[in-house]
Amino acid sequence: MAFNNDVNASPTSSTHSMNAADGSASSASVHTASDAEWLRNAVFYEIYPQSFADSNGDGIGDLPGITAKLDYITSLGATALWINPCYDSPFKDAGYDVRDYKKVAARYGTNQDLADLFAAAHERGIHVLLDLVPGHTSEEHPWFKASCKAEHNEYSDRYIWTNSWVEGAPGLPFIGGEAPRNGTYVLNFFKCQPALNYGFAKQTKPWMDSPDSPAAQGTRDAMVDVMLYWLGLGADGFRCDMADSLVKYDADDRPCTIAAWRDMLGRVRARFPHAVFVSEWGRPRLSLQAGFDMDFYLDWRWDGNPNGYSMLGRDTDYPLGDGPDASYFRATSTTGAARFVREYLPQLEDTRANGYFCFITCNHDTSRLAPRLTPREEQIAFTMYLTMPGVPFVYYGDEIGMRFRDLPSKEGGYTRTGSRTPMQWGGGANLGFSDADPSQLYLPVDPSSDAPTVAAQDTDPDSQLNYMRSLINLRHELPELQADGGFEVLHAADDDRAFVYRRVAADTTADGTPLPADAIPASVIVALNPSTAAVTVHLDADQPRPQGLVLLHRGDQATYAPETRTITLPAQSATIMR
């Protein structure tokens, strides 16, 4: 089946569908909760701090190392950073087990180093989001240690405890036998991560607090205090970990967790109205109601079923590329783009007025596309991810095609460890990451003789790095391609491999005032064909058509024949055209 204009034309879908009156896809500006103007044209770069740049030769990346690389980040065109947790931690889950929310881990530097990083980034127009881990702490956090005591104290109800050492929490993982207190406690993720108490939507046991209880309120106050602290030091906002699971036994559409966030974010925004929040939630209809500006489209496969994002690049159980792979961007796959479109469009619609659903190239929990995808396959994928609505996130190293590696687990990474290896800057023993003895590195660098590096790619016009730079530059130049731009599928099918879509600039100013017709920029068409054979796509008479002006391409460029209204997409090509 092929998609055409009427697929996304529902009465409520004006942002992403045809406007019948004048034949152009219309799009109004998006009003995010923070209304941080810079988001419209933002490109994020995710940094895993332990693996980015080691400034003091101890084998582990650090904050001064990141600061020293800000010019590189500017050269890439990224305008914002998300830094994974950099707080004091025993590192049993790579820092997602926080021991002190307000203290930078010694291995990364000091709070002053982080303040210096904020200042240096701001000088370059780069915004910085930290990672907030609101759902749990480390079992070594002083709050948790206090809550383990038999005597009642200020932190006794900061975590979720049952009333007796022999009673567990129905349906939730719990631990007993570890504390003097007569009770067991609930976990949020690993054994080292006790769940903070935001209350229960339904209180079926006497020890379950309501979300309105003083205990749950106290947890929210504590998290607000953490956010205000870092915003006061210069942070621009937070990526919020496991954002959908704060209140336990919440209904499917998470009313109580949404209320908890609205309370916390409301109070933070009263002091820092421009602070930006992105959720690890994956359901924008809910997360944007909770007050987030953006949500991620993540590689999540519940019960083995890939979501739309997984279908594109990660529809496989073999991250090294040695097994069956149905991912759309694999040249040898038979998957058409319609599968993705069916799953994506309804969710895009959910974000139409009040936020963004964001594409990532990868993240610290997800296997990198390389080596499973070839450089060309990866370029076609990145062409799409960098030309979609919402705010794109580039995971460090993806811009040079760094490869997922088969490595033993480090700090609770397990199969995620292979995506967390040191950034490959240049030549030498540690590929420019660190002066330490190679045996001292946080994780080994890629030992391959052809390991991609920034230095090797920097001056090569055809490199992965320079293609990523061109994509990001084009996005900065063209409002059509930016976060608020409309999105319209021109062609996506189950029985062929082409994907053609149109992006259109918002036709209102930020405050909603309609732009005069002659001020609305032309639309941009993106034509992708990951397969090994050329594909020809026929546009219907009422579909918008390209003028044929190519702005950027990888592989042979697509061509448009006006007489037959056909776009010919060469094998393994990506073309951005007017």
- What residues line the site for Ca ion (CB under 5 A)? 54, 56, 58, 60, 62
Q: Could you write out the three-class secondary structure of 44-103?
A: EEEECHHHCCCCCCCCCCCHHHHHHCHHHHHHHCCCEEEECCCEECCCCCCCCCCCEEEE
- Determine, following the binding rule CB under 6 A, whether residue 93 of this chain makes contact with ligand GLC: yes
Helices assigned H by DSSP within 451-539? 454-458, 464-477
Rounded to 5, what percent of the chain is helix, strand, coil? 30, 20, 55
Task: State which residue has the least CB distance to ligand GLC.
Answer: 96
> Binding of ligand GLC at residue 46 (CB under 6 A)?
no
Nearer to ligand GLC, 241 or 377 (CB): 241
In SS3 terms, 101-155 reads as: EEEECHHHCCHHHHHHHHHHHHHCCCEEEEEECCCECCCCCHHHHHHCCCCCCCC
Nearer to ligand GLC (CB atom), residue 83 or residue 526: 83
Q: Does residue 139 interact with ligand GLC by CB under 6 A?
A: no
Query: How far apart are the C-alpha atoms of 33 and 264, rounded to whole Å?
Result: 13
Q: How far is the CB of 397 from Ca ion (least distance, A)?
A: 18
141 binds, among Ca ion, ligand GLC, none (CB under 5 to 8 A by kind): none
Question: With binding defined as CB under 6 A, does residue 54 bind ligand GLC?
Answer: no
Closest approach, Cβ 98 to ligand GLC, in A, equals: 9
User: Which residues have C-beta within 8 Å of that of residue 35, sequence separation ≥ 6?
Assistant: 273, 274, 510
- Residue 149, strand partner residues: none
- 99, 260, 264, 94: which is closest to 194 by C-alpha? 99
Among 43, 47, 86, 242, binds ligand GLC (CB under 6 A): 242
Q: Tokens 């050269």 — which residue?
A: 75
CB of residue 85 vs ligand GLC: minimum separation in angstroms? 8
* DSSP code for 274: T
What residues numbered 432-491 form the site for ligand GLC, per CB under 6 A?
none
**18, 73, 81, 133: residue in contact with ligand GLC (rule CB under 6 A):** 133
- Scanning residues 200 to 239, which ones bind ligand GLC (CB under 6 A)? none
Interface with ligand GLC (CB under 6 A), residue from 52, 143, 155, 189: 189
241 makes contact with ligand GLC (CB under 6 A): yes
User: Minimum Å distance from CB 132 to ligand GLC?
Assistant: 11
Residue selected from 263, 343, 365, 494 as contacting ligand GLC according to rule CB under 6 A: 365
Q: How far is the CB of 267 from Ca ion (least distance, A)?
A: 36
Cβ at position 412, least distance to Ca ion in Å = 20
Crossing angle of helices 255-271/214-233, nearest 10°? 40
- Tokens standing for 264? 């916390």
**How far is Cα 300 from Cα 409, in angstroms, rounded to an integer?**
21
479, exposed or middle or buried, with CB in 10 Å at 0-12, 13-18, 19+? buried
In the complex, the smallest distance separating the C-beta of residue 47 from Ca ion, rounded to whole angstroms, is 14
Which of 105, 527 has the CB closer to Ca ion?
105
Q: Identify the helix (H) or strand (E) that includes residue 492.
A: strand 486-492
Assess contact for 392 and 76: CB atoms under 8 A. Answer: no
Residue 82 touches ligand GLC, criterion: CB under 6 A? no
The distance of closest approach from Cβ of residue 436 to Ca ion in the complex, given in angstroms and rounded to an integer, is 8
The footprint of ligand GLC on residues 280-299 (CB under 6 A) is 280
Query: 54 is in the binding site of which of Ca ion, ligand GLC, none (Cβ under 5 to 8 A by kind)?
Result: Ca ion
Number of Cβ within 10 Å of residue 248's Cβ equals 24
What letter would DSSP give residue 254? -
Report the partner that residue 60 touches, choosing among ligand GLC, Ca ion, none (CB closer than 5 to 8 A by kind).
Ca ion
From 96, 198, 296, 344, residue interacting with ligand GLC (rule: CB under 6 A): 96
Where on the chain is the footprint of ligand GLC (CB under 6 A)? 93, 96, 133, 189, 241-242, 280, 364-365
